[in-house]
Amino acid sequence: MLFKWIRCEVADRNRFDRGQRRWAELADVRGFKGQAGGWSRERPGQAHIFGFWESRAFYDSFMARTHDRLAAAQAGSCTEVRTTLFDHRFDVKTGFEPLFHDVDLVRIAHTRVRPERVEHFTLAQRRIWNPAMAGSPGMVRGFFAEAPGSEFLVLSMWQSTAERGKYRPEGLHRLSTRAEAEDDLLGLDGAMVELEPSWTV
């Protein structure tokens, strides 16, 4: 599965919102699996869109044929748009599906990893961090994905902001030390995104 993460610095929220609703037409595109998005809690003018495709071939076909027409409805509403494509590697909880009806909040953890530490980082994510996150009752589903250039992303879906607030892995420093996170990472950022239901396809 291919995952598309879009970060938009929005200058005209109303125009952006109206344009985002036009993407409902994606439902009829072959290979499309789902899309959702919302506003950053930390940066109110920043929107995040999450798109899912069966494969890169289906995505490339959409970009060549349909994308520009749909995107035209939002032209001029953003000052900056950043897009990154990731390949799904494994689930945080089993059986991930791009469904959003039962979640209100999406958490993105975006990392850049030292090339020589990629194998170690991936193993630590699977064996140390995933069990800690999956054990939190408010975490509904999630996945771990990779982009070229030793770039990784963990997307987790939560029932609510309150439930995400309860996620406090016991011994966070101990887990980080055990995972040797400081040795693995070149950079870490992310976002807490409150979903806008009208953007879900």
- Domains observed in the chain: 2-199 (3.30.70.100)
Q: Taking the CA atoms of the chain, what radius of gyration do you get in angstroms?
A: 17
Question: What CA–CA distance (Å, rounded) separates 1 from 68?
Answer: 22
Q: Are 167 and 80 in contact (CB under 8 A)?
A: no
Question: What is the structure's pLDDT at 44?
Answer: 87
Q: What is the pLDDT along the chain (201 residues), one digit of tens a residue?
A: 999 999 999 999 999 999 999 999 999 999 999 999 999 999 989 999 999 999 999 999 999 999 999 999 899 999 999 999 999 999 998 789 999 999 999 999 999 999 999 999 999 989 888 888 888 878 899 999 999 999 999 999 998 665 555 555 555 666 666 667 778 889 999 999 999 999 999
pTM for the whole thing? 0.90
Any bridge partners for residue 38, and if so which? 48, 195
